[in-house]
Amino acid sequence: MEAILYERFDVLDHGFVRVIDYMGDDAAIVQAARVSYGAGTRKVREDRALIRYLLRHRHTTPFEMCELKLHIKAPIFVARQWLRHRTASVNEYSARYSRLDREFYVPDADHLQSNPSSNKQGRDDVLTDEEARQALSRLDWISTRAYGVYKNLLNEDDTGAPKDPDRAGLARELARAALPVNYYTQFYWKIDLHNLLHFLSLRADAHAQYEIRAYADVILDKIVMSWVPATYQPSATMRWTPLRSPQAGSPWSSACWPARRSIRRVAGSPSASGAS
CATH number at residue 84: 3.30.1360.170
CA distance 24 to 155: 48
In a shared domain, residues 82 and 192:
yes
- Whether residue 102 lies inside any domain: the answer is no
Q: Residue 195 falls within a domain, yes or no? A: yes
Query: What is the tally of structural domains in the chain?
Result: 2
Determine the Cα–Cα distance for residues 231 and 74; give it in Å rounded to an integer.
Answer: 27
- The closest alpha carbon to 220, from 233, 237, 207, belongs to 233
Q: Rounded to whole angstroms, how far apart are CA atoms 71 and 197? A: 18
In a domain, 98, yes or no: no
Q: CA–CA separation, 31 vs 83, rounded Å?
A: 31
Domain end among 128, 151, 181: 181
Domain that holds residue 154: 109-181
Last-in-domain residue among 144, 163, 181: 181
Q: Are 92 and 183 in contact (CB under 8 A)?
A: no
Q: Does any domain span residue 101?
A: no
The verdict on 165 and 189 lying in the same domain is no
On whether residue 104 sits in a domain, the answer given is no
pLDDT in tens, the chain (276 residues): 999 999 999 999 999 999 999 999 999 999 999 884 555 556 667 888 898 888 888 888 999 999 999 999 999 999 999 999 999 999 999 999 999 999 999 999 888 887 777 666 766 677 888 998 999 999 999 999 999 999 999 998 878 889 999 999 999 999 999 999 999 999 999 999 999 999 998 998 888 999 999 999 999 989 999 999 998 764 223 334 443 334 443 333 333 343 344 443 333 333 333 332
Regarding whether 27 and 68 lie in a shared domain, the answer is: yes
- Co-location of 78 and 15 in the same domain: yes
Asked whether residue 128 falls in the same domain as residue 50, the answer is no
Q: Does 15 share its domain with 61?
A: yes
C-beta separation of 124 from 114 below 8 A: yes
Regarding whether 253 and 224 lie in a shared domain, the answer is yes
| Residue 235 included in any domain | yes
Distance between CA atoms of 240 and 63, rounded to whole angstroms?
A: 14
Amino acid at 189: W
Q: Are residues 218 and 81 in the same domain?
A: yes
- Residue 257 within a domain: yes
Cα 143 from Cα 101, distance rounded (Å)? 12
Burial letters 182-202, b for 16+ CB under 10 A, else e: bbbbbbbbbbbbbbbbbbbbb
Assess whether 76 and 210 both reside in one domain: yes
Residue 100 lies in a domain: no
Same domain, 86 and 213: yes
- Please return the burial class of 248, using the count of CB atoms within 10 Å of its CB with bins 0-12, 13-18 and 19+: exposed
- What are the pLDDT digits (tens) for 38-89? 555 566 678 888 988 888 888 889 999 999 999 999 999 999 999 999 999 9
Which residue in 219, 188, 204 sits closest to 255, CA to CA?
A: 204
**Quick one: 174 and 189 in the same domain?**
no
Q: Which active-site residues does the annotation give?
A: 203
Residue 242 CA from chain centroid, whole number: 18
In three-state secondary structure terms, 194 is helix
- Where among 126, 158, 181 does a domain terminate? 181
The alpha helices in the chain, defined as continuous H runs, are 26-33, 44-56, 76-82, 129-154, 172-175, 193-203, 210-218, 225-227, 229-232, 261-267
Same domain for 6 and 88, yes or no, is yes
Q: Give dist(CA 188, CA 89) in Å, integer.
A: 8
